[in-house]
Structure 1
Amino acid sequence: MRRMRKSLLAFVALILFMPSHVMMAATNESKGEGAKLGEISSKDEVVYANLSATGQRQEIYVVNILDVEQAGDVVDYGEYTNIKNLTNLSPIEQNDNEVQLEAIKGKFYYQGNMNEADLPWNISITYLLDGKEMTPQEIAGKEGHVQIQIATTANDEVDQIFFQNYLLQISVPLSEEIYSNITAPNGMLANAGKNKQVTFTVMPEKEEKLVIEADAKGFELEGIDISAVPSSMAIDAPDIDEMMGDMNSLTDAISKVDQGVGELESGVTALNDGVKSMRNGSSAYKDGVQKLASSSGDLVSASKQIEQALETISHSLKNNPEDISLGDLNKLPEGLGQISAGLKETSKGLVTLKENYAKSYDALNKAIESIPEYEISEEEIQELYRSNADQKVLNQLLETYKAARTAKGTYNAVKEAFIAVDTTLKQVSDVLLEMANSLDAMASGIASSLESTDIVKSFVQLQEGISQLSSNYQAFHSGLESYTGGVKKLSNSYGKLDSGMDELSNGTGELATGVNQLHEGTSELKNSTTNLPEEMRKEVDKMISEFDKSDFEPISFVSKENKHVHAVQFVFKTESIKSEEPETVEEMEKEVTGFWNRLLELFK
């Protein structure tokens, strides 16, 4: 029995340590000389890479999966440091980058190591504890606030087709016994047993810096899994018809706003022109009224003298007719004519002032009336704010709208006063003209009387006329005093009205400038949003085209000479970070002898 066991052990040892070329020779002899060429219909490559805890490449090997349609000798390509048959014990030979093998029909697997090859992505993993960067060895077992930063960038040394068409999926397992308060702004958290699984997706052609933060108690980390597969799924265009309708409504609303602001600008411009004209007319009117008021004293004084003269003449004619000199009487018509001429000139000036005022008021009235009556509701205002239009322009629009509404309301409130000025000017002008005509009639009557041949009769008539004129002139003089008093009050009051006109003119000027700038802004907004719906559709199509890789045709990662490549995918895993106590001598000895003990157990 003991001999049998020794024989079996020797046989096992022989099998374990038999040179591989002996096995290959035996297999080659069994092939015979009638070997035939095989045929591969497709090939898959799975690229495995072991990375350090910071993302540096350590080991790369590729599992090649050949779909053999016809059994026989086939050739594959790849620059491997060594190769291994994973399907059977048939030999695999390598000559430079040419791999020769005998494959059975169906799936054939073999492994090729490429430890010096570059991966399509540069992966860098950084660890921070309470804001301080640490190596994996330093952070292992530590406690505090942890930040794990994972940066992915394109490796320019490798064909960019993989970076441009593959998406990365990065999975980080975090034990809930160690980590709490886990956050990952760009990641998705899910439960995976006792772990929290943080998953990130990096789209094709994108370089990302991904961050995980958590509070750690005794920092440890299982290996991070990173896989890369083609983003070959087709992306259907989203239904944006409703959104397009909303955008069309928005552009239509902006166009109407611009049109309304254009009409407002025209109205405000007309208003400003009318107010300017009215301002100029008001200044002329103020100057005329002030001159009239300043000359009122002289006019009243002259009238008083005429009144006293008429009283004296009347008294003298009645009581002392012998003292009357005809030469003095001859001067009276001339004096009355001069007064009449002055009153007529004043009346003429008031007529001119009335005409200018009427033109100014007409321009102002048309400008104010041209301001639209429409009202913008609070709901419509809020809808405009939600439309993402320029907030500054909207604020200017609303301020102008309110100012225009205020100007129109103020004008409507004082409109009757403006109308009354026109009527008053006409009445004053008519009274002055009537007074002048009366004085002309008096002067004409006196002159006619003086030319009469019947001196006695004429004298009697003159005496009666002068008496009546003196009596009437007293009433005229009282009316003149009241008129000049009114003119002084009008002059004093109109100064305030003219100052208001000046402020109104300045205000409408600023309003016109502001509305002009506002119209420029709304026109620019209209022009920039006219094609907004179509631009939005183009952007959606562009975004879809960027991520739709459904037409991607895979190529071999290991060699461009490989044909019929069906799929290539990448699987990476980083080293774990463990906080472990050193092994004891007994544990090390137990590990060394464990294999032989298990082998011997088979024969007991």
Structure 2
Amino acid sequence: MLRHSKVKSYIILLLALLLVMAPVFSVNGAGGANVSKVQDNELVISTLNDTGSIDDIKVLSHMRVSGNGNVTIQDQSQYKLKSVRNLYGSEKITQKDGALGINFKLGSGEGHQDVYYLAALDKNEISRATMPVSIKVSYFLDGQQIKPSKLAGKSGHLKIVCEVENLTGSKKTLEFKNNKGEMVKSEAMVYTPYVVSLSGWEFDNKKFSAIQAPGVAEESPEGVIVDVQGKTSVSWSVPLVPPKYPAKQYVVLEADAKKIELPSYKIAVIPIVPTTSEIDSLGTVQESFGKLYDAFDKIQGGVGTPAQDATLLNGLNAVKNGLGQVSDGMGSLVEKLTAIRLGLSNPKFDVGTYNSATGTDAKGNTPAVREAITISKNALDEKITPALEGQKKVLTVMEATMGKPGGEVVQPSLSTSLYNDVSFMQGLVKGTPAEDVITKAMAPKIMAMGANLGVLRDGGNLVTAGGSMPFPASINAIAAGVEQISSGLGKANSGVGMIALGLGQIGADGKPVKVMMDGKPGSILYALAYLQESIDGKMVPGIDMLSEGTAKIGDGSSQAKEAITGGLEKMMAAPAIVSALKDNASQANSFLGKPEGAEGTVAYVFQTPEVNTAASAMNYGLGAIVLALIILFAIGRPKSPSQFTEVNKEM
């Protein structure tokens, strides 16, 4: 049994040696004895039954007392004990009022004495025993959970899952300096640090193959598999040290098996803060986080708020406001240009039904400039110009009616001229006073009137009583002027039409009609409306989206700062947490109890049931006790090898 357990004992032996190196302090004895040091080291051995519950708890205790004289040490026990046995000494151990009395004979000089005793808890006490770490071992064969007692002799795919959980977490207030050098307090869940060692799980290669011990990041550590001389050994080290490692983890072993037999495996639980050779880069990471925090702070400061000067959001808000003013200005310009456009040409006005008396068309629409020009030109072309032509004809007829000298005088009739008729009358009154009136008064007036009629029609010098004078306002001159006005009005009409066309058409809704030329707005009004629509419909929403995105950058920077601050706080709190872990570990120094004023250490071993058709509870119980004795013998040897043999026989 000892030879079979040798490999298993090495790791547990090393951990136990670390535990017993803890310092102790003085305790005064009675009856003249002087006790300078008391050390109480406990190894709690829990046996798991077929259902995975703890079936039996034994505590292997090593007590070392240093000093001189004879003294009785009272070792406290918080649980009722079924039995207590001094394993290889003759010292008497008594039980009274929940305490064990142990007699020590230290001699006259400074010395020490070791006592190793095994205490078994009463069965009724097991249910209330407080374990700092829970251990649950489950067995599966071909995917179906099975009790270990049912595994013996079976074949198939074996899977063993061991779930471990640190149950010691409690909230503590930590004090430390933050990244600003300020002393702060923070509440954190602090555990007593435990390392679970599942070592030396051996499997006979004749019965087990394809052995695996897979791990899952942040949940389950991967096992170390070693194949030596026909046996495969699997080991795990599971630190249950939050926040570095999860408080709850599990290990998995899988193998193809035939005629299954398994020894009783040992699971050691030791309170310790693991020390590794890992290089501490916390300072560098902390400095990098500080720089990252500063960078996000600058980003957040650059993003700013709409009301904060010299920031991106303030600038975007100013751009948006400016675009709004531009849009408003364009809207006002479109309204004014629309009014101008409608003043230049009214598309609703019907020239053909214009009524000069009302100044409107048949539907009551008033003419704009272009329509007024059209009406004026039509009036010139259709009324004034024909009237002037008629006047010219009338003047020509009147000029012919007046007549001129030089023609043959004939008998007056309706077709003869006035000058012919006056000349005819002059011949009739020749030699009378009437001849003189006709010659000097009537004939010259008729001749002047006939000439003036020609001047009125064609222009020239107008004959008056006082002489002749230029007369530019002839009918021909007026007709020529009217023709020029008509021509000018026609050109003005075309020009106004071009202006109206350039400004653009107005729809029935009073808005510019869409006109595109070569893919671009084809009128001023539509271009302005298009630009305003682009500002209101695209640029302003674009600015809003840009502002929203920028605000998200600012919010993201703020959140990043908070996260970095939290990370920095955790980094700054790390030494305080480590200190609290070490303090908790130092206080995890007893299971049963210890003498007043003594220093103590405690470790735990959980052992699984042996899977063997011939196995019994006594077999694996004895194996655990023998293994524990090996650990304690490394601390203090018995007086003679024969005593160890005798103890084995008794057990």
Q: 1:44-193, aligned counterparts within 5 Å?
A: 44-52=40-48, 54-79=52-77, 80-86=81-87, 88-96=89-97, 97-104=99-106, 105-115=111-121, 116=125, 118=129, 119-140=131-152, 141-144=154-157, 146=159, 148-152=161-165, 154=167, 164-171=191-198, 173=201, 175=203, 177-185=208-216, 186-192=220-226, 193=228
Tell me which amino acid in the other structure corresponds to 1:241.
E
Q: Report if aligned partners of 1:38, 1:69 keep a CA contact under 8 Å in 2.
A: yes
DSSP 3-state at the match of 1:470: helix
Q: How does 1:317-332 map to 2 (within 5 A)?
A: 320-321=394-395
Give the equivalent residue in structure 2 for 1:238: 282
RMSD of aligned residue pairs (Cα, Å): 4.1
Contact 1:67 1:108 in 2 (8 A): yes
Could you list the per-position Cα deviations for residues 165-208 of structure 1 after superposition, in whole angstroms to 9, with x for gaps in the alignment? Answer: 23131315363734534312121422344323233221269641
2:595 alignment partner, SS class: coil
Q: Cα–Cα, structure 1 residues 48 and 516, in superposed 2: closer, same or farther, change >3 Å?
A: same
* Cα drift, residue 113 of structure 1: 0.8
Indicate the residue corresponding to 2:37 in structure 1: 41
Task: Please tell me whether residue 249 in structure 1 is matched to residue 262 in structure 2.
Answer: no
> For residues 500-519 of structure 1, what are the structure 2 equivalents within 5 Å?
500-501=530-531, 503-504=533-534, 505-518=536-549
Please tell me whether Structure 1 or Structure 2 has the larger radius of gyration of its CA atoms: 2
Residue pairs, 1:169-318, within 5 angstroms: 169-171=196-198, 173=201, 175=203, 177-185=208-216, 186-192=220-226, 193=228, 194-203=232-241, 207-212=247-252, 214-218=254-258, 221-222=262-263, 223-231=265-273, 238-239=282-283, 240-258=286-304, 259-286=311-338, 288-290=340-342, 292-293=344-345, 294=347, 295=368, 298-308=371-381, 309=383, 311-312=385-386, 315=389
Matching residue's letter, 1:197: S
* Aligned equivalents of 1:220, 1:314: Cα separation in 2: 138
Q: Are the counterparts in 2 of residues 87 and 110 from structure 1 also a CA contact under 8 Å?
A: yes
Change (3 A) 1:200 1:516: same
Q: Contact 1:248–1:533 at 8 Å: present in 2 too?
A: no
Classify the secondary structure of the residue corresponding to 1:550. helix
CA contact (8 A) 1:72 1:102 kept: yes
Structure 1 counterpart SS, 2:90: coil
Are the counterparts in 2 of residues 45 and 568 from structure 1 also a CA contact under 8 Å? yes
Aligned counterpart, 1:589? none
- Distance in structure 2 (CA, Å) of the matches to 1:220 and 1:322: 150
Aligned identity (percent) is: 8
Partner Cα distance (1:139, 1:164) in 2: 37
CA distance in structure 1 between the partners assigned to 2:298 and 2:323 by the alignment = 28
Residues in 2 aligned to 1:232 and 1:76: alpha-carbon distance in whole angstroms: 33
- Note if contact 1:148-1:211 (Cα within 8 Å) is conserved in structure 2: yes
3-state DSSP of counterpart to 2:326:
helix
For 2:158 and 2:604, locate their aligned partners in 1 and report how far apart those are by CA, in whole Å: 30
Does the 8 Å contact 1:169/1:227 carry over to 2?
A: yes
- The match for 2:24 is none
Change (3 A) 1:454 1:474: farther
Unaligned regions of 5+ residues in structure 1, if any?
1-33, 157-162, 325-452, 584-597, 600-604
Q: Which residue of 1 aligns with 2:413?
A: none
Question: In the alignment, which residue of structure 1 is the partner of 2:569?
Answer: 538
The question of whether the paired residues in 2 share the 8 Å contact of 1:49 and 1:57 is answered with no
Over 3 Å counting, the alpha-carbon distance change for 1:252 and 1:577 in structure 2 is farther
TM-score calculated relative to the size of structure 2: 0.55
Separation in structure 1 between the aligned mates of residue 387 and residue 482 of structure 2, nearest angstrom: 9
Shift of 1:238: 1.7
Opposite residue 511 of structure 1, the aligned amino acid is G
The amino acid that maps onto 1:485 is G
Say which of 587, 607, 632 aligns to 1:554.
587
* Inter-partner Cα distance in structure 2 for 1:120 and 1:98: 24
Letter in 2 for 1:59: I
Is the 2:164–2:249 contact (alpha carbons within 8 Å) kept by the matching residues of 1? yes
CA separation of 1:188 and 1:545: change in aligned 2, threshold 3 A: farther
* Cα distance in structure 1, aligned partners of 2:249 and 2:544: 50
Gap change, CA 1:88 and 1:35, over 3 Å in 2 = farther
Contact 2:159 2:255 in 1 (8 A): yes
Residue 291 of structure 1, CA deviation? 5.3
Check conservation: 2:213, 2:251, Cα contact below 8 A. Answer: no
Specify the SS of the correspondent of 1:183: coil
Counterpart of 2:433? none
Distance 1:484 1:221 in 2: 110
> Distance in 2 between the 1:180 and 1:521 partners?
52
User: C-alpha distance in 2, partners of 1:319/1:220?
Assistant: 145
Match of 1:574 in 2: 607
Cα 1:283/1:567, change in 2 over 3 Å: farther
State the 1:57 CA deviation: 4.4
Structure 2 unmatched runs, 5+? 1-29, 170-189, 305-310, 348-367, 399-464, 506-514, 516-522, 617-644, 647-651
Change (3 A) 1:322 1:49: farther
